[in-house]
Structure 1
């Protein structure tokens, strides 16, 4: 499926930020200038800028424009539910994904039962994916996708983007996630895959939900602590009392 024009614009601007064509503290060209530059409508440009704002790459300042913020090259937005492949495209990380395991199961793997003790028995699809940047292992993502609503998962989707497949092929409305971050001792297999000197890794455990509040996925992401820094970029949401 072809990418939307706003996604293409957002990815191009993000790449220019990554390669210092727009430095931290610089203002991006104005909306009208970007409209001319990309041969697009102002609405499309605004959608692209909103994507960059949500990622924490820019901040809009009324009357002045959009200023580039200071985020590290491999900052991983823990609080969001952006997929790794989307980050790879937008931040130009030159990352690879290696599918280690992909299989249907009648119940959760033992490590998921341990980390999610409240979860009842349910059939699903188990996926292990090793994320590499410049051929170095960075993250091991272990996902359990519930069946239903997900009864099949092609290997190609696991290699590229599971969320792209779920949203565009299965028409699922992925909405929000809750996450817990801990430092854990991992087993020999995970240590070997991540090429860690010891057995300590940062673990991000996630419950992922659809728009109708259906829990559709559990995720255990094991991170090499020496390779990534984690950034929780949050925007103030004013609540009227």
Structure 2
């Protein structure tokens, strides 16, 4: 039998996902929710805390709980931000599935992107990103073996950058990004929920260490309805 606060959480979360509770609006107060659900204030607080942790609401001191836009997710154009960092407040709403991890001689296109010679190997990694039960991103990563000699599926499910920086002691410095709109490939259609969508937003990343050596090429293929690509610019 579910705890009362989980029932409250699930009902409010469903109303946010369905748009009954609109993004930017305020939830009813704790007192109003207590009366509506005929439960204790502590139960309501537990439900609100979980909604906040899972990225459905943002609690503002003295104002209340603001409903967040769960239909779209902000990805920064500038900077290097991992999927885990973008979705860290979503808890179980966000999942990563590793569908391919192998060390191989890269095809000519990848050799060209990473400026590799004929003998160098790469890690070929494909991950599917799922949010709220929908598979909406296909991440295709290629990492040079000379920089990343060892990696596991568990590391790839968790966070590659945490591993590279924390365990291998690498200093990831900067990336060049190219954003295009393309038709879905057969691979996109096979792995993602694309019914009704004829285009993908593709972000190509060329990632460098602080010694300016290129070690990673990524194609992050996004279903277009779920993301906003955001940046901050200042005129000089």
Using structure 1 for the length normalisation, give the TM-score.
Answer: 0.64
Map of 1:226 onto structure 2? 225
Matched length: 178
Where 1:158 maps in the other structure, the secondary structure is helix
Return the match for 1:119 from 115, 121, 133. 115
In structure 1, distance between residues paired with 2:213 and 2:53: 35
Map of 1:137 onto structure 2? 135
Structure 1 segments of 4+ aligned residues over 6 angstroms from their partners: none
RMSD over aligned Cα atoms: 3.0
In structure 2, distance between residues paired with 1:118 and 1:85: 24
Residues 113 and 217, structure 2, Cα contact 8 Å, conserved in 1? no
Return the match for 2:153 from 135, 152, 155. 155
In structure 2, distance between residues paired with 1:156 and 1:169: 14
In structure 2, distance between residues paired with 1:22 and 1:148: 47
In structure 1, distance between residues paired with 2:160 and 2:174: 15
Residues 15 and 92, structure 1, Cα contact 8 Å, conserved in 2? yes
Instruction: Map Cα deviations across residues 131-158 of structure 1 (whole Å, 9 max, x no partner).
Output: 0001101211000001211111111100
Where 2:217 maps in the other structure, the secondary structure is strand
Map of 2:202 onto structure 1? 203
In structure 2, distance between residues paired with 1:237 and 1:95: 36
Instruction: Map Cα deviations across residues 116-143 of structure 1 (whole Å, 9 max, x no partner).
Output: 5573443110100000001101211000
1:85 aligns with 2:81: no
Using structure 2 for the length normalisation, give the TM-score.
Answer: 0.65
Residues 54 and 91, structure 2, Cα contact 8 Å, conserved in 1? no
Where 2:78 maps in the other structure, the secondary structure is coil
In structure 2, distance between residues paired with 1:187 and 1:130: 14
In structure 2, distance between residues paired with 1:71 and 1:91: 12
Pick the structure with greater CA Rg: 2
Residues 83 and 163, structure 1, Cα contact 8 Å, conserved in 2? yes
Structure 2 residue runs without a partner (length 5+): 1-49
Does the C-alpha gap of structure 1 residues 104 and 199 become closer, same or farther in structure 2, counting only changes over 3 Å? farther
Where 1:225 maps in the other structure, the secondary structure is coil
In structure 2, distance between residues paired with 1:118 and 1:167: 20
Map of 1:164 onto structure 2? 162
